[in-house]
Amino acid sequence: MTETFDRATLIDLLAQQWDAIDALVAPLDEDRWRTPSSLPGWTVFDVLAHMVGTESWLLGDRPPAHDPTTAKTDVRALPYVRNETAVLNEIWVDRLRPLSGARLLEFYRDVIARRRAALAAMGDAEWEKETVSPIGQVTYGRFMRVRLFDCWMHELDIADALGVPVEEGGPRGELAFAEFVGSIPRVVAKKGEAPDGARITFALTGPLARTLHIEVAGRARYVDAFDEPATVEIGLDSRLFARLGGGRTTAEEHLDEITIQGDAELGRRIVRHLAFTI
């Protein structure tokens, strides 16, 4: 299936995203590289190591050999590893941990340079070929939109850990956020248990401000407007919305930043169960 967004634009936004992450970590000393992030068990170093692993895997590379001077980690025993994707992620992170932050950044730059070249050389048939992705079997181009979202979220993970503000809007943020909000109707119905007939509005402020209307009628879907008043309207900043959906924080930690009008019980249940990313 041909993608509905421009291929050249997506590749360019991916390149910009990779550059933004490079600029964010380049000034770090070794102590700052090891700053804990909101992701269980991972530091800033580990977040970038994960990105190196994913982009390396897309190039067909295998994880480095285990460093014999360090103890082996049983990654399957880690409490936050719940599937085979997480196992592979942890193997890459664990194998790269003995490196210094500066060496990891060199590794990252080499991998990203090769990924850029690979994307630039890819033909239409390869771009539109079905491939395995975190959201199932999709075209390679669709997978790259998922990659943009994933890398965008990891930029936020690193920035939040370091206490450094970054631009969350703009073209990169808009496309990444569009990928993110595409899953929200399903999450609202399945995890938030919004009943049939419910009408949910998210009124988002901040850098990615927008109003999202979700109607549950057999299944949950976006609509332009409701024929009747919303069952519940939930107001919050787009930055918090992204982090709740990413499981980076909980609604309980930010109740004073969330407004709920209408069915308060449904609204609270929804915001407490927004996390859906791996």
Q: Identify whether residues 195 and 255 lie together within a single domain.
A: yes
Residue 61 has pLDDT above 60, yes or no: yes
pLDDT, position 268: 98
Print the domain residue range for 15: 7-165
Q: Which residues partner with 220 through β-bridges?
A: 216
**Residues 25, 135: one domain?**
yes
The sign of the CA dihedral 76, 78, 81, 86 is negative
Residues near 52 by beta carbon (within 8 Å), at least 6 away in sequence: 92, 96, 104, 107, 108, 111
CATH number, residue 68: 1.20.120.450
Provide mean pLDDT across the span 49-78: 89
Measured distance CA(53)–CA(108) in Å, rounded: 9
Q: Are residues 224 and 160 in the same domain?
A: no
CA gap 239, 248 in Å, rounded: 11
* Of the candidate ranges 73-87, 95-109, 114-128, the one whose mean pLDDT is the lowest: 73-87
Other CB atoms within 10 Å distance of the CB of residue 50: 21
Residues 6+ apart with CB under 8 A from 248: 38, 39, 156, 157, 160
Q: What is the pLDDT of residue 69?
A: 81
User: Is the domain of 64 the same as that of 145?
Assistant: yes
* Domain end marker among 139, 165, 191: 165
Examine the domain organization and report whether 161 and 197 are in the same domain. Answer: no
CB atoms inside a 10 Å sphere around CB 189: 21
pLDDT at 3 over 90: no
Rg (CA), the chain: 20
Where among 140, 165, 190 does a domain terminate?
A: 165
The yes-or-no verdict on residue 200 having pLDDT over 80 is yes
C-alpha separations of 243 from 59, 94, 159 in Å: 29, 25, 12
Residue 94 and residue 202 share a domain: no
Here the CATH number for the domain that contains residue 261 is: 3.30.1050.10
Based on the structure, what is the number of domains in the chain?
2
Give percent of the chain above pLDDT 70.
Answer: 98
Q: Which residue has the higher pLDDT, 87 or 249?
A: 249
| Domain-terminating residue out of 119, 137, 165 | 165
Give pTM, 2 decimals: 0.93
Q: For 119-172, how does the pLDDT look when each residue is reduced to its tens digit (9 = 90+)?
A: 999 999 999 999 988 888 999 999 999 999 999 999 999 999 999 999 999 999
Regarding whether 185 and 146 lie in a shared domain, the answer is: no
Instruction: Report residue 123 as tokens.
Output: 């033909």
Shared domain check, 130 and 18: yes
* Alpha carbons 27 and 42: distance in angstroms, whole number: 19
58 and 181 housed in the same domain: no
